[in-house]
Structure 1
Amino acid sequence: MASVGYVASEHPGHPVPAGLRSWSTLWAGYRPVDITPPELLPPGLAASVAQGWAEPYVSPQDVPDWERRRAAALVPFTFAGGWPLNPTGRTGWAGRNLGRWGENQAADPVVIAGSGAERRVLLIRRRDVGQWAIPGGMVDPGETAPAALVRELREETGVDLAAMTPVILARRYVDDWRTTDHAWVTTTVALFRLPTRVLATAGDDAADAGWWPFTGVDHLAGLLASVGGLYPAHRALLRLVPDADLAVAS
C-alpha cells in the first residue's frame, strides 16, 4: 500500500467541468497540473524502485509492455500521443502519483465476522492519511489478485485466510486520491465471511487494525468520524457488500 508525496485534493489541479471530462470532447485550453512527486522523478526514482513499490520508467514512452498491460487491464483504456489515458476521463492532474504508469491493480479484502448486532468489519488505519480503510494494497508483478488479497490481509493485519475462498464482489475502477490522467487504480474486491472475530494486529503500512461494528457504510463512517474517518475511496467498495450481510438481527 505504498504511497507517494502529493495528496491530489491538497494540490490544486485544473478544474474539469463535467461536460469536458470525456477525452472525446476537444478542449484546447486543458492544462493539467503535473503532481509527480520527488520520489518518482529522476533524482529519487532509483530509491523508490529499490524499495520495491515503483517501476523504473520516467515516462510512459519508456514502458516496454503496453500491449500486455492493456490485455490484462481490469478496465480498458486508450492512448493519446504515447500517454495512457485515465478511463474515466480528465482529472485535472498529470504525471504519475502511483508506482506504475497507467492502471495500478489493487486487491481489497472485505472481512466480516459475526452476525446481527455482533457483526464487525476488519479495518486498518493507514499510515499515509491516518484514515480507516479496507486492508488492501497493490498486486505485485507476476502475482494474481486472489494471492494479493490473502497476502495484503496477512501483512497488514496478521490474519491468514489462505484456506478460504472469498466471494468476488467486483473488479472496478477506484476513485483514489493519487489518481491522475496517466496513472490510476483499479481493484478486485472480495468478501471473506468469518463466524467470529479473530486476532488482528497492525503490520506493514497499517498504523492500527481493529474490528468495527458494520450495519452500513454511513453508520460506520459516523463511528470513525472522530478517530480519523473512513477512507473515502473505500466507501463505494464497502457498499458492494450484499444487504444480507448488513441486516441487523431483530
Structure 2
Amino acid sequence: MSEYSPVDITPPELQPSALAHHVPDWAEAARTPADVTDWPQRQNAALVKFQLDDRGWPLHPHGRTGRTGRNLGKWGENAAADPIVVAGTGKHRQVLLITRDDIGVEAIPGGMVDPGETAPAALVRELREETGVDLADHRPIILGRDLVDDWRNSDHAWVASTAALYEVPAEIDAVAGDDAVAVAWWPFGTLAQLDAAITAAGRTLYAAHRPLLQRALDHLDTAVPDQTR
C-alpha cells in the first residue's frame, strides 16, 4: 500500500512565514491547527460534526481529500451561505447565477459567513453584495446544511454551507457586484436544461453547486403541482 502523500494547497499569503508578518483580513492568524484554542466551541457550532486527530487537528468529516494545508479563512469548518433564487414556476422557472471572478464558472451567489453573523443574515448580505438583489423581506426555505465539494477543501479545512431557496414571482433586475464578473437568469426547469443553456453559452456550471441546485429542483417539483403542461 502506497504512503498517503497529500498535496499542500496553502497559498503564499497563508504560509506560516507570511502569517508571521501579515495576516489577511479574511483569515485567522493560526499558522497550524495547533495554534487554535477554541476547538470545543467550533465543534459544537459546526454545521457538520467533525472530529480531531491525535494531534488535536480537525479532520474533514468525509475523510481524506488528497490535499493538506489551508486555502480558506479558518482551520476546520468554514461556514458559508448559498442563496438559490428562483423566479417563476414549472417550465418557465429561472435561476439566478453569477460568473465567479476567481474560477470563471457559473455558480450560486454566496460566500462565507462573517464572524458573529448568522446564516440568515449572510444569505441576505451575500445575495445583495454579489447581485444587487435585496430579499431581506423574504423568508427562504432552508434546503440543508451540508459539506460543499469546494476546490479549496483540504484534510484540515473545508466548507460547509447553509443552502436556502428564495422563490419570487418574476425575474428581478440584477447587477454583478463583489466576487462576480457577471450575473444572469438561466432556465431552470431541470438540471439538464440548465446545463444545456450554460453549455450553449460557452460557460461551465460550478460542479460543487450541482447537488444544491438539484435539491432546490427536488423541493420545487415536490412542493408545487405540475405546471409544465
Same topology, TM > 0.5: yes
> Shift of the alpha carbon at 1:44?
4.0
The structure-2 alpha-carbon separation of the partners of 1:82 and 1:200, relative to structure 1 and needing over 3 Å to count, comes to same
SS at match of 2:28: coil
Q: Distance in 2 between matches of 1:125 and 1:165?
A: 25
Q: Distance in 1 between matches of 2:21 and 2:184?
A: 32
Does 2:98 correspond to 1:124? yes
Per-residue displacement from partner, 1:171-212 (whole Å, max 9, x unpaired)?
111111111100111000000000111110000001101111
- 1:80-91 to structure 2, matched below 5 A, reads 80=53, 81-91=55-65
Preserved CA contact (<8 Å) 1:48 1:54 = no
SS at match of 1:69: helix
Preserved CA contact (<8 Å) 1:215 1:248 = no
Quote the residue 1:249 is aligned against: 228
> Shift of the alpha carbon at 1:28?
8.1
Quote the residue 2:75 is aligned against: 101
The structure-2 alpha-carbon separation of the partners of 1:53 and 1:201, relative to structure 1 and needing over 3 Å to count, comes to same
Preserved CA contact (<8 Å) 2:93 2:189 = yes
Per-residue displacement from partner, 1:100-157 (whole Å, max 9, x unpaired)?
1000110000000112332110000000110000001000111000000000000000
Preserved CA contact (<8 Å) 1:173 1:185 = yes
How many aligned positions are there? 223
Question: Which amino acid in 2 is paired with 1:112?
Answer: V
> Shift of the alpha carbon at 1:43?
4.7
Please list every run of 5 or more consecutive structure 2 residues that lacks an aligned counterpart in the other structure.
Answer: none
SS at match of 1:235: helix
TM-score by length of 1: 0.84
Quote the residue 2:211 is aligned against: 236
Preserved CA contact (<8 Å) 2:107 2:205 = yes
Q: Distance in 2 between matches of 1:182 and 1:175?
A: 14
Preserved CA contact (<8 Å) 1:98 1:184 = yes
SS at match of 1:240: helix
Quote the residue 1:184 is aligned against: 158
TM-score by length of 2: 0.91
> Shift of the alpha carbon at 1:244?
6.1
The structure-2 alpha-carbon separation of the partners of 1:49 and 1:218, relative to structure 1 and needing over 3 Å to count, comes to farther
Moved more, 200-209 or 217-226: 217-226
Alignment RMSD: 1.8
The structure-2 alpha-carbon separation of the partners of 1:47 and 1:162, relative to structure 1 and needing over 3 Å to count, comes to farther
Quote the residue 2:32 is aligned against: 59
> Shift of the alpha carbon at 1:46?
7.1
Q: Distance in 2 between matches of 1:223 and 1:47?
A: 47
The structure-2 alpha-carbon separation of the partners of 1:244 and 1:184, relative to structure 1 and needing over 3 Å to count, comes to closer
The structure-2 alpha-carbon separation of the partners of 1:231 and 1:242, relative to structure 1 and needing over 3 Å to count, comes to closer
> Shift of the alpha carbon at 1:245?
2.6
> Shift of the alpha carbon at 1:243?
3.6
Quote the residue 2:178 is aligned against: 204
The structure-2 alpha-carbon separation of the partners of 1:197 and 1:47, relative to structure 1 and needing over 3 Å to count, comes to farther
Q: Distance in 1 between matches of 2:96 and 2:163?
A: 14
Q: Distance in 2 between matches of 1:76 and 1:204?
A: 30
Question: Which amino acid in 1 is paired with 2:81?
Answer: A
- 1:146-185 to structure 2, matched below 5 A, reads 146-185=120-159
